[in-house]
Amino acid sequence: MTFFRTATEVAAGLRRGTLSSRDLTERLFARIDASEVNAVVATRRDFALQAASKADATTGGPLHGVPMTIKDAFAVAGMATTWGEPAFAEAVADRDAAVVERLQAAGAIVVGKSNVHHLLADFGRTSNPVYGRTLNPRDHARTPGGSSGGAAAALAAGLSFLEYGSDLAGSIRIPAAYCGVYGLKPTPGTVPLRGFQPPGPPAEPAREFPSTVGPLARSAADLRLALTVTGGPGTPSRRSRLADFRVGVVLDDPACPVAGEVGEALSDAVDALVRAGVRVAEGWPDGVDPVVQAEAFGFQVEWFFAAMEGGEPAGADEQERRRATLGAAWARYFADVDVFLCPTVFTTAPRHDDRHRYDDQVFWVAQASLPGLPAVSAPLAGTLPVGLQVAAPAHEDDTAITFAELAADVLGGFVPPAE
Task: Say if residue 400's pLDDT is above 60.
Answer: yes
Q: What band does 180 get if pLDDT is binned at 50, 70 and 90?
A: very high
Rg (CA), the chain: 20
What predicted TM-score, i.e. pTM, was given to this entire model?
0.96
The predicted structure's pLDDT at residue 76:
98
Other Cβ atoms within 10 Å of 201 Cβ, number: 6
Task: Say if residue 136's pLDDT is above 70.
Answer: yes
Domains and CATH numbers, the chain: 2-231 (3.90.1300.10), 242-411 (3.90.1300.10)
The predicted structure's pLDDT at residue 206:
47
Q: What angle is formed at CA 284 by the lines to CA 280 and CA 289, rounded to 5 degrees? A: 175
Least confident of 71-75, 301-305, 314-318, 329-333: 301-305
Judged on CB neighbours under 10 Å (0-12, 13-18, 19+), 395 is: middle
Other Cβ atoms within 10 Å of 239 Cβ, number: 16
Task: Say if residue 205's pLDDT is above 60.
Answer: no
The CA-atom distances, in angstroms, between 68 and each of 38, 82, 178, 190, 200 are: 16, 19, 20, 21, 26
Q: What band does 317 get if pLDDT is binned at 50, 70 and 90?
A: confident
More confident residue, 204 or 314: 314
Contact 389, 375 (CB under 8 A): yes
Bridge-based pairing of strands 132-133 and 109-114 is: unpaired
Q: What is the mean pLDDT of the chain?
A: 94
Average pLDDT over residues 10-32: 98
Average pLDDT over residues 288-292: 94
Task: Say if residue 167's pLDDT is above 80.
Answer: yes
| Amino acid at residue number 30 | A
Task: Say if residue 258's pLDDT is above 60.
Answer: yes
Task: Say if residue 309's pLDDT is above 80.
Answer: no
* Percent over 70 (pLDDT), the chain: 95
More confident residue, 1 or 406: 406
Distance CA 219, CA 338 (A): 21
Distance CA 323, CA 319 (A): 6
Q: Kindly report, residue by residue over 340-352, the tens digit of the pLDDT.
A: 999 999 999 999 9
Give the residue numbers annotated as catalytic, written as ranges: 71, 147, 171
Query: Which residue, among 371, 349, 353, 352, has the nearest Cα to 417 in the 3D structure?
Result: 349
The CA-atom distances, in angstroms, between 321 and each of 108, 227, 327 are: 42, 30, 10
Question: Alpha-carbon torsion 330, 333, 339, 344, what sign?
Answer: negative
More confident residue, 309 or 317: 317
Contact 360, 384 (CB under 8 A): no
Distance CA 133, CA 114 (A): 12
Q: What band does 105 get if pLDDT is binned at 50, 70 and 90?
A: very high
Looking at residue 44, what DSSP letter applies? -
Q: What band does 62 get if pLDDT is binned at 50, 70 and 90?
A: very high
Least confident of 104-108, 166-170, 246-250: 166-170
Task: Say if residue 168's pLDDT is above 80.
Answer: yes
Three-state secondary structure call for residue 166: strand
The CA-atom distances, in angstroms, between 130 and each of 27, 82, 359 are: 26, 8, 23
Three-state secondary structure call for residue 410: helix
Maximal C-alpha separation, the chain: 60
More confident residue, 198 or 311: 198
Task: Say if residue 304's pLDDT is above 80.
Answer: no
Distance CA 116, CA 73 (A): 8
Bridge-based pairing of strands 386-391 and 375-380 is: antiparallel
Q: Transcribe 167-216 into DSSP letters.
A: ESSSTTHHHHHHHT-EEEEPPTTSS--TTBS-SSSPP--SS--S-EEEEE
The helix or strand, by DSSP H or E, that contains position 238, with its residue range, turns out to be: none
Three-state secondary structure call for residue 23: helix
Least confident of 48-62, 290-304, 307-321: 307-321
